[in-house]
């Protein structure tokens, strides 16, 4: 059976067809979840949640869209749900407008610097979870997974311009939140970073 036939059978409640569909995609879904979660247990949980969402929602799947696009969006949402539930991540989100991530310092931080960084991460995390879901989703893919704008567009099914604008709005909101708390001083991106972002996007 091809994919379309498997999906049609899944819609009729055929569990054998669903198991076959899982086998076709389980490695790719787990790889995506593993990249997003970076923790094996969380990745497994997200992958299981993804296929449970597929089983529950396959009846409403619109065949005019690619099944893989729909599936990866479910996987992305499942990963975000796991990250929200567990709150394990100390997110170091770049607030630069370009695509090039900020390089980490090579020297070990002093206790005062470590405390300050911990507080900043807490503020970033709180501001991140206050973002609209659609902005948080693309920013997590960009900053935690280091996906390019084009890769994010492929995973989410969004237009490239939409990805860029959502990431830009999310970064602006984070800057505003941190500036209001006194933990961040805004700065304009360098021309070099802007050029790199335009070239890589």
Per residue in 116-157, pLDDT (tens digit) is 666 767 777 777 778 887 888 888 778 866 778 887 887 787
162: pLDDT strictly greater than 90: yes
Question: How far is the C-alpha of 136 from the C-alpha of 147, rounded, in Å?
Answer: 14
Question: For the whole model, what pTM was predicted?
Answer: 0.52
Residues of the chain with CATH 1.10.10.10: 111-200
Residues of the chain with CATH 1.10.1740.10: 3-86
How is domain 111-200 classified at the CATH fold level? Arc Repressor Mutant, subunit A (1.10.10)
Task: Judge whether 21 and 6 are in contact, CB under 8 Å.
Answer: yes
From the options 1.10.1740.10, 3.30.420.40, 1.25.40.10, 3.20.20.100, give the CATH code of 3-86: 1.10.1740.10
3-state secondary structure of 121: helix
What pLDDT, on the 0 to 100 scale, is given for residue 192? Answer: 42
18: pLDDT strictly greater than 80: yes
3-state secondary structure of 187: coil
3-state secondary structure of 95: coil
What pLDDT, on the 0 to 100 scale, is given for residue 151? Answer: 79
What pLDDT, on the 0 to 100 scale, is given for residue 72? Answer: 83
What pLDDT, on the 0 to 100 scale, is given for residue 195? Answer: 45
187: pLDDT strictly greater than 80: no
């Amino acid at each position: 059976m091809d994919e379309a036939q498997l999906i049609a059978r899944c819609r009729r409640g055929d569990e054998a067809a669903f198991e076959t569909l899982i086998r076709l995609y389980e490695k790719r879904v787990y790889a995506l979840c593993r990249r997003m979660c970076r923790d094996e247990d969380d990745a497994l949980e997200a992958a299981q949640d993804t296929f449970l969402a597929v089983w529950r929602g396959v009846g409403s799947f619109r065949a005019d869209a690619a099944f893989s696009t729909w599936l990866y969006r479910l996987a992305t949402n499942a990963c975000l749900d796991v990250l929200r539930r567990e709150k394990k991540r100390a997110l170091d989100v770049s607030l630069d407008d370009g695509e090039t991530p900020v390089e980490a310092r090579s020297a070990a931080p002093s206790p005062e610097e470590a405390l300050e960084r911990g507080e900043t991460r807490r503020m970033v995390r709180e501001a991140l979870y206050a973002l609209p879901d659609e902005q948080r989703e693309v920013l997590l893919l960009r900053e935690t997974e280091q996906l390019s704008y084009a890769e994010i567009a492929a995973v989410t099914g969004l237009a490239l311009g939409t990805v860029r604008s959502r990431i830009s709005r999310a970064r602006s909101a984070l800057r505003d939140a941190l500036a209001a708390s006194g933990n961040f001083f805004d700065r304009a991106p360098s021309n070099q970073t802007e050029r790199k972002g335009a070239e890589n996007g």
